[in-house]
Amino acid sequence: MRTINDLRGVVRQTAHAIRVYHGNCHLEKVYENALTHRLPKAGITVQQQHPKKFYDENDTEIGEYFAGLVVGGRLIVELKAAEAIADEHVAQMLGYLKGSHVEHGLLVNFGSYRFEFRQYVFSGGKTTEKQFWKFAVFCG
């Protein structure tokens, strides 16, 4: 079983390779499909548009949402194809982690001229942004 750091690293490297190959001019679905295609080749399970239960403060189930990708059964990956990661994208990720009781999440933006990758950890009732990467990748 891979550690969460290994999962994040493979997703980051694979997403970056996809961004280099495809550029930044496609819809989210293209990048989602590419990750769903490539990650199993690295021995990692991926569930696309996977339903996740959503809980209230007393652990009462109040609904569900569809996570863009669930990687390795324990990492939510939310993909964007936007000019930049916006506050509402971050709020969406934080809400997903808190409401679904999943500890680890990645927010990946393929749409900017810079590849953006942020990782979040939900623990002890708090969500924190652990690291932030931006890579300049130009379409060729």
DSSP class of residue 2? -
Per DSSP, the three-state class of 77 is strand
For residue 55, CA distances in Å to 35, 70, 106, 129 come to 28, 18, 20, 22
Between 127 and 72, residue with greater pLDDT? 72
Parse the chain into domains and list their residue ranges: 4-136
Strand 114-123 and strand 104-109: the pairing is antiparallel
Q: Quick one: pLDDT band at residue 130, thresholds 50, 70, 90?
A: low
Question: Confidence class of residue 101 from pLDDT cuts 50, 70 and 90?
Answer: confident
pLDDT, tens only, 13-52: 999 999 999 999 999 999 999 999 999 999 999 999 988 8
CA angle 47, 48, 51 (to 5 degrees): 80
Range 119-136 average pLDDT = 67
Global pTM reads: 0.86
